[in-house]
Structure 1
Amino acid sequence: MKIFYKTTATASGGRSGTATLNDGSLSVQMVRSDSGEPGVNPEQLFALGYAACFDSAMELMAKQLKLDATGAKTTIDVGIGQRAEGGYALDLDITIRLPGMAADDAKRLVEAAHQVCPYSNATRNNIDVRLHTETEEV
């Protein structure tokens, strides 16, 4: 695989510590989701990254498919839970809003984006991911 970009982050203290990008551009206080403390948890950071990445994949695929995705929005819901066989796993719902796009075009676009998005490729077949598309057909 040809690598186009690589970044590095360092965490200390797990869910009760800090996580920092090694270039110094971002440092966050990590908190447990049930702590009530100010800060973020890993699932929130994953949701942010996946949403932005999927949205970019849609922009790319919309150009290739000659579709107008103006006003598109991607929302990622990330859940975490315990697996029956032990350990923990993530559970994802991806909701894509494509106002003004015909439902069949929206489905084609979302499926194409899901095939090229690096986060989708990383999670495929090991995390439950459900795609939801919302349109206002023209």
Structure 2
Amino acid sequence: MTYEHQMAHVSFSIYQDAKPPEFWTNYFHIPPDTAVSKGDPIPDPTGQNRALARRTGVWGIHSKPHIRSDLLEPHLRYLVERLALPRSDLPELLRRTNAHMRFFCYWYNESGDRVPDVPGDIRTLMEAMGGTIEIDEYR
């Protein structure tokens, strides 16, 4: 099987230290692709056996295994549907737990002529809930 490089994909993440990752799993009713707590050990990439620990907790899911598209919109719409967004209680929950949420968009643009397609309704939705959309463009 050959692997075809996708030119776009998106992850959704919540960053916070007040609740364990299981809290967000129960809230969204979705198993995470990423779930770590503040203080969890990190392997030392240098091999020096230093005691390294995570500085914040993260819970997240990714679109890449589920959506095949070089555009951002299908990835974003998949995550919005999967997470059942918007949720009326989420902004207050984020505030109470001092959490931050974001869509992180991978955008491969070697030619320089691709324009990220983030729909206005999804920008508005995230803004209204207190989240951000970030685009990491690679050339």
Q: Which TM-score tier does this pair reach, normalised by the shorter chain?
A: 0.3 to 0.5
- Taking structure 1 as the reference length, the TM-score comes to 0.33
- Taking structure 2 as the reference length, the TM-score comes to 0.33
Greater helix proportion: 1
Which of structures 1 and 2 has the larger relative contact order (alpha carbons within 8 angstroms, sep 6+)? 2
